[in-house]
Structure 1
């Protein structure tokens, strides 16, 4: 496990950096961020993604099912003297008295069992002219199984290990002395995995359309994490169905109703 997964303040700051430098410009290329927007993030975690939007004057709301993450988000925003509303709830059970100009769902959909339902919920929450920013790692990419969260220093650095059959994967995690809750989370990610092709089928079935898509060979978040400059997947590979999943460390989508 990397230190940033233990130090929530560092993790919050790194997410805020990536959001400001990469998420906001990507979204701004397709919608006007100069006016005040109502923004919702589903699976907001500590709230790092929302901080630059809040500091730019937008009205931000974050929803997450984890009590600890919502507590952290509230605390971090207070320290940053930023305004934000954070709700501890299941997004499928949360009731809102308004719709949103922008819905953000980054590195979340790969954890959700019913992806069709999630995207339909996103569509319901958008204003007619609104957009959704969805980001996720393709399942087959080297660390698409989120094995970097493992405590074992060898397993956490093993690329493609998540593609092994579940029984073998579980055995390796056990002999690596991973805790039961970590094994459960890792295997749940394997069960709920998503590829580019699967995601796009869910999008079209949810009454949404793709406004923009960017597939990254080097994830923008790797700049703050590892000092690597983001790189888009070469066009020749991004057009190869199925094979592109093995090289897409992050997939950015802008969706409209």
Structure 2
């Protein structure tokens, strides 16, 4: 297991840096981030993505189904003496938040959701007229699209493409490597709810959501702070080849309207 998976404060700081350096500039091409804007992050985890928005004077709300992650988010924001609203809940049970937000952020969330069609159908209900949705996720077939980096085994956590094995083989290897049942259950769940680019875009169009922009990355911008690697966009030639592009896309950025 990588250190950032155990040290939540480190992970919070890393996400904050990436959000400030890459997410905000990308989103700003389509909507200027200004003081007083209402920002919602669904699946906010510890809240790192929202911190730079709050520092710019935005009103930030983070929703996550994990009460533990929300507890950490409240603590980390308090330590920074920055205001942020955090709620432990299923977002779609919070009717009071509908039509409230100028921007919705969904970072590395869609690949964990089984009923993606319903999730995407409900998402626009939470935006104001003219609001945008920023969606990012790893293509399923990319080297670590299975999130195997959460494994405690140093070997398994660094093995690319292992998540593409048949489920029974994948499960057996995880067990032999000493992973606990909770970890195995989570990894097999991600395998079940995987998100190739083609599936995501098909569901987006089916739900009458417009893709205003798409940017595929060969080297995920977040890898700069995690591994010291310079972000690189996927070549236009490979990006234009369905299915093949999934193996080379470590992160997908979308602006949805």
Q: TM-score, normalised by structure 2?
A: 0.98
CA RMSD of aligned residues (A): 0.8
Give the aligned partner of residue 71 of structure 1: 71
8 Å Cα contact 1:123-1:206 kept in structure 2? no
Displacement, 1:35? 4.6
**Which stretch of the first structure deviates more once superposed, 57-66 or 91-100?**
91-100
Choose 31-40 or 125-134, whichever is displaced more. 31-40
- The answer (yes or no) to whether the contact 2:39–2:101 under 8 Å persists in 1 is yes
Q: Which string of whole-angstrom CA distances, capped at 9 and with x for unpartnered residues, describes residues 232-253 of structure 1?
A: 0011100011100000000000
| Other structure's SS at 1:17 match | helix
Q: Distance in 2 between matches of 1:160 and 1:126?
A: 36
- What's the offset of the Cα at 1:124? 1.1
| 2:254 match | 253
Q: Give the alignment of 1:105-254 within 5 angstroms.
A: 105-254=106-255
Instruction: Tell me the distance in 2 between the aligned counterparts of 1:51 and 1:191.
Output: 31
Deviation, 1:16, is 0.1
Give the stretch that moved more between structures: 115-124 or 54-63: 115-124
> C-alpha distance in 1, partners of 2:50/2:122?
20
Is contact 2:146-2:190 (8 Å) kept? Answer: yes
Q: Per-residue CA shift, 1:142-201, capped at 9, x if unaligned?
A: 000000100011111110000000000000000001000000000000000011110001
**Runs of 5+ consecutive residues of structure 2 not aligned to the other structure:** none
**Could you state the TM-score of these two structures normalised by the residue count of structure 1?**
0.98
Aligned equivalents of 2:228, 2:31: Cα separation in 1: 29
Which segments of 5 or more consecutive residues in structure 1 lack a partner in the other structure? none
Task: Determine whether 1:92 maps to 2:92.
Answer: yes
SS for the counterpart of 1:31 is: coil
Cα distance in 1, alignment partners of residues 157 and 64 from structure 2: 25
Aligned length: 256
Question: What residue number does 2:6 align with?
Answer: 6
Q: Using the alignment, how far apart are the partners of 2:251 and 2:118 within structure 1?
A: 22
Deviations 1:57-110 (A, max 9, x none): 000000000011000000000001111100000122122244211000000100
